[in-house]
Amino acid sequence: MTQPRHLIGWLGLGALVAFAIGASAGGCDSSTSRVSARDQATTTTCARYSTCMQIGTGLAYPTMEACEIDWQANWEKAWPAADCDGKIDATALDVCLSAIRSTTCANALDFLSTLGKCTKADICKATSPDGG
């Protein structure tokens, strides 16, 4: 039987994909690479799963490594290289990471709200004509 919090993860993935679709606009910050952003989001997400006691046998993820593999793939899909290389908004990424850290463990609405702060449209800003 699927654990309720694991279901939240699957619902979150669907929401993440839905939220990630959209136009990008605004400035950029070339100091944070897309890969770095993806890795930071992966580490932060799995740390939150661990804090919420959802990593272990019979839980959302059997190991921290399994969580990291899954969420690295999720963030990779959310912030694809074709759309996000050289376009990471560091301020928006900080908002996203803070939201992940503060997400309530068993609240699906809070989880969806968090994902709403981590969309491609927020994180991957189009480069303006002046280069940033």
| pTM for this predicted structure | 0.74
- Please name every residue paired with 54 in a beta bridge, in sequence order, or none if there are none: none
- Please name every residue paired with 55 in a beta bridge, in sequence order, or none if there are none: 61
Tokens of 49: 């799963």
What integer pLDDT is reported at residue 11 of this predicted model?
41
pLDDT tens-digit series, residues 3-46: 444 444 434 443 343 333 333 333 444 468 999 999 999 999 99
| Residue 107 pLDDT level (bands cut at 50, 70, 90) | confident
pLDDT tens-digit series, residues 39-87: 999 999 999 999 999 999 999 999 999 999 999 999 999 999 999 999 9
Distance of alpha carbon 28 from alpha carbon 25, whole angstroms: 9
